[in-house]
Amino acid sequence: MYLYPMGIFGKKDQLQIIAFQTYGTKDHLYARGRALEDEEIDLVEKGWYGILRNTYKRFETDEIKNTPIDLTLSDGRSVAGHTDNHGYFLIDNSLSGLDVLTNSEGWLPYEISYSDPFLKRTIKAENRFPGEILIPPTNADYGVISDIDDTILHTGVASFLKWKALYNTFFKTASIRVPLKGAAEFYHQLHRGSSGSGANPIFYVSNSPWNLYRYLEFFLTKNRFPKGPILLRSMAATLGNRKTEKPHKTHEIENILKTYPKLKFVLIGDSGEHDADIYKAINEQYPNRILAIYLRDVGHRKRMKRIKTLFADYHTPVSFVEDSDQAEIHAKELGLI
């Protein structure tokens, strides 16, 4: 028997499934997402009350726990899954011939649905929710792994007690958040590569919780960044309640490198938190896999001084940039674009 919570105002909201954009290979299916009540969050709503209400809904989620789901591919094949105690699902299966189902950019479409025959709640979209998995083309020149906060999105994680980050996240809608000037254009150049017609995969990694997935997805889409998997973490890990052996970004980057052992990567981050230390450790653990490292200066003099010392006379190209124009010049010199 499954028990489902009531909505924010005591009513029963319709059920939905949010499928996160993930990545896989031609013979490995890896899908993630979350089953939730649909709180009808308006990502473009204005006004303090509306913004605060939507922020509350985003974090006070009503999960659909411990319930069966089905993933169906465009060729009719289906894989069963199950949500956990927080409504998350992970479908991690070996399955051949996935690459023939992708589009020219390498995206594999699928549908996810509830499969509990005793589920009495109203389900949105006729119980058919779209999802996508990126399977990079075999002719990709390289991949790009990028941070989000203060790398492509003004956030303020380096501010005192992170007050700017909190203000920007909780009191600004995704529709008015401002990307760093020229960032989207630079990422498109990396996506297209030196030929100008490639489809190099872009992976976005952030320490933000999964609760902000649609918020960040909307921001990236609205500002025309190349589409790519958005890799976040659980709220428990964000609040420090879950002890892990490795930092979230390290774990995600290592998974990407292990998934595509023949592909080299460009790493993009900023000087605000721990990107420099993580990227250097990754580069030394996986020699000859990193083509270049870009670190944007967030204006913290002491941190930038330490980071430049960290990479003094370094064997891998490292560029400390203040804007996308500087990064573009450096990338052209390396033949990346």
HSE-CB for 167 with a 13 A CA cutoff: 9
Please indicate whether residue 25 or residue 165 has the higher confidence score (pLDDT). 25
H/E stretch holding 168: helix 163-171
Residue 12 phi/psi, 5° resolution?
-90, 110
Q: What is the mean pLDDT of residues 246-265?
A: 96
Whether the pLDDT of residue 299 is over 90: the answer is no
Q: Can you tell me the mean pLDDT for 107-116? A: 97
Q: Is the Cβ–Cβ distance between 165 and 156 less than 8 Å?
A: yes
Q: Give the least confident one: 118-122, 172-176, 258-262.
A: 172-176
Lowest mean pLDDT among 178-182, 193-197, 206-210, 265-269: 178-182
d(CA 135, CA 126): 28
**What is the pLDDT, as a whole number, of residue 160?**
41
Q: How far is CA 294 from CA 284, 286, 331, in A?
A: 16, 17, 10
Higher pLDDT, 43 or 216: 216
CB 171 within 8 A of CB 45: no
pLDDT higher than threshold 80 for residue 184? yes
Band the pLDDT of 279: cuts 50, 70, 90. very high
pLDDT greater than 70 at residue 228: yes
- Render pLDDT for 128-155 as a digit per residue (tens, 0 to 9): 999 999 999 999 999 999 999 888 987 6
3-state secondary structure 266-329: EEEEECCCCHHHHHHHHHHHCCCCEEEEEEECCCCHHHHHHHHHHCCCCCCCEEEECCHHHHHH
Three-state SS string across 71-119, please?
Answer: EEECCCCEEEEEECCCCEEEEEEECCCCHHHCCCCCEEEEEEEECCCCC
Range with lowest mean pLDDT among 8-12, 96-100, 116-120, 177-181: 8-12
Look at 15-19, 52-56, 149-153, 237-241 and tell me which has the smallest mean pLDDT: 237-241
Task: Specify whether the CB–CB gap between 135 and 24 falls below 8 A.
Answer: yes
As a whole number of angstroms, the distance between CA 22 and CA 132 comes to: 7
Give SS3 for 21: coil
Stretch 20-44: mean pLDDT, rounded?
88
Mean of pLDDT over the chain: 86
CA distances from 90 to 50, 68, 206, 241 (A): 32, 12, 19, 21
